Amino acid sequence: MVKRRPQVSMLRLQATPTCNLNCRYCYIPESVRRRRGSMSADVLEATLSHLVDEDLLGRHLAISWHGAEPLAAGLDWYRDAVDRVASFLDGRTLVTHVFQSNGVLVDDDWCEFFRRIGAHVGISIDGTREQSAARVNWAGRPAFDQVMRGVGRLNAHGIPWTLLAVVGSSAMSDPESFVDFVRSSGCSTLGFKVEETNVANRSALHGTRRIEERYRHFVQHLWRAFPADGPVQVREFEEYRSARGRDRGRQAVPVTMVPLRNLTVALNGDFTIFSGELLFGEDRRFVFGNVLTGSFRDSLCTERFRAVSSEMLAGARRCAGSCPFYVDCGSFYVSQKLAEHGTFDAAETLACRLEMQTLFRSLDALMDEPANA
């Protein structure tokens, strides 16, 4: 049965609010990304202490170092932070460090550090130079060449990395070039998501004509290009296979609906217990506490939690009552509901229409073809 006690699987820590890029679709407001600074040792140690003292650890914990751009906190900061993590958590849980970076700052020293700590590295880039046009620096100039220099260092050091792409209209129109780029990039894994409406950006895909048809074409092209036993694994296709491999009717429960499962702590110690995207804007409605003054468990006993939980559950009931994919989705798209509808008590979003409904329908249709049956 579903575990009846809270447990943290992924701890997302905002090492720094700073970003060296100004990507046009970023979910972190520009005002936040212009700030400077790095998380203090007091906030980091208070976070780790709470995890231990409140009995919130399982066998594994992924620590996702977050920013804006996490590497902007600097290598010396991470050397110290990783040591502090080890001093608190060694022997209590198995820690994996995860860095989702724009790649610009990756150099040989970073690569050696990643290798030493066994980090999982993800690089955000959206395909070819043209398809990555939204990824620009603060002067508005494309960051593509800088990112690819960082990718080159990872490849030179033989470090496996994940390519995480935001798919926009350009990539959907030319999946062949997207596939060629991914194959030549040197990545070991691909994750992709559509440009979605978030708390800081309204997606350009809203109102795009025949969007489902274009996304279906894109998804099916990628499915054929990246078979399960090929050199590049695709996160979304693994999820699809996992869902279709489950017993039909077994309800999926996404991390975004489980309190504390993905825990996010901001630079100043503020934390949120559902989607991390809720924390990094200017809206403080989803700050459930601060590690310097309160506990994670206590945040479950607050009126704020009751209100958010009630609204999220109402939204999940809408999904369950209206969407045939609820059993495989479980109302995953929580922050997107808020961004598009202003409330969690809503059902369909652009992101779920494409990433869940269209993707599953597109791949189900391929499975029905004689060659794949």
Partner 1 sequence: MAADPKDPTDVSRSDAEQAFTAHMSSLPGSNDSPGDDRDKGWLDEYVPDDEDNVRKSPDDGGKKEREKQPGKPPGRGE
What is the footprint of partner 1 within residues 24-43 (CB under 8 A)? none
Single out the segment in contact with partner 1 by CB under 8 A; choices: 29-37, 124-132, 169-177, 236-244.
236-244
Mapped onto helix, strand or coil, the DSSP state of residue 22 is coil
Phi, psi dihedrals of residue 318, rounded to the nearest 5°: -60, -45
Q: How far apart are CA 164 and CA 170, in angstroms?
A: 16
140 binds partner 1 (CB under 8 A): no
Q: Are 77 and 110 in contact (CB under 8 A)?
A: no
Binding mask 72-111 for partner 1 (x = CB under 8 A): ------------------------x-x-x-----------
Rounded Cα gap, residues 215 and 124, in angstroms: 20
CB of 50 to partner 1, least distance (A): 12
Q: Give least dist CB 187 to partner 1, A.
A: 8
Q: Residue type for 193, please?
A: K
Helix or strand run (H / E) with residue 142: none
Residue 278 engages partner 1 in binding (rule: CB under 8 A)? no
DSSP 123: E
**Binding span for partner 1 by CB under 8 A among 7-15, 16-24, 84-92, 103-111:** 7-15
Question: Does 240 help bind partner 1 (rule: CB under 8 A)?
Answer: no
Q: Which member of 135, 214, 261, 337 binds partner 1 (CB under 8 A)?
A: 261
Q: Does 209 bind partner 1 (CB under 8 A)?
A: no
For residue 249, state whether it binds partner 1 (rule: CB under 8 A): yes
Site for partner 1 (CB under 8 A): which residue of 127, 191, 269, 289?
A: 191
* Dihedral-angle region of residue 210 (phi above 0 means left; psi in -120 to 50 means alpha; beta otherwise): left
Give the position of tokens 């060694």.
Answer: 90
By C-beta, is 67 or 330 nearer to partner 1?
Answer: 330
Contacts of 364 (CB under 8 A, 6+ apart): none
- Residue 51 CB, nearest approach to partner 1 (Å): 14
Q: Are the beta carbons of 10 and 255 closer than 8 angstroms? A: yes
Q: Does 49 bind partner 1 (CB under 8 A)?
A: no
By beta-carbon proximity to partner 1, the closer residue of 19 and 163 is: 163
Interface characters, 290-329, with partner 1 (x: CB under 8 A): -----x-xx-xx---xx--x---x--xx-xxx----xxx-
> What type of residue is 220?
Q
**Pairwise CA distance, residues 337 & 35, whole Å:** 27
Window of 132-140, 141-149, 156-164, 167-175 that interacts with partner 1 by CB under 8 A: 156-164
CB 124 within 8 A of CB 112: no
Kindly state whether residue 7 participates in binding partner 1, applying the rule CB under 8 A: yes
- Shortest separation between residue 129's beta carbon and partner 1, angstroms: 23
> By the 8 A CB rule, do 93 and 61 touch?
yes
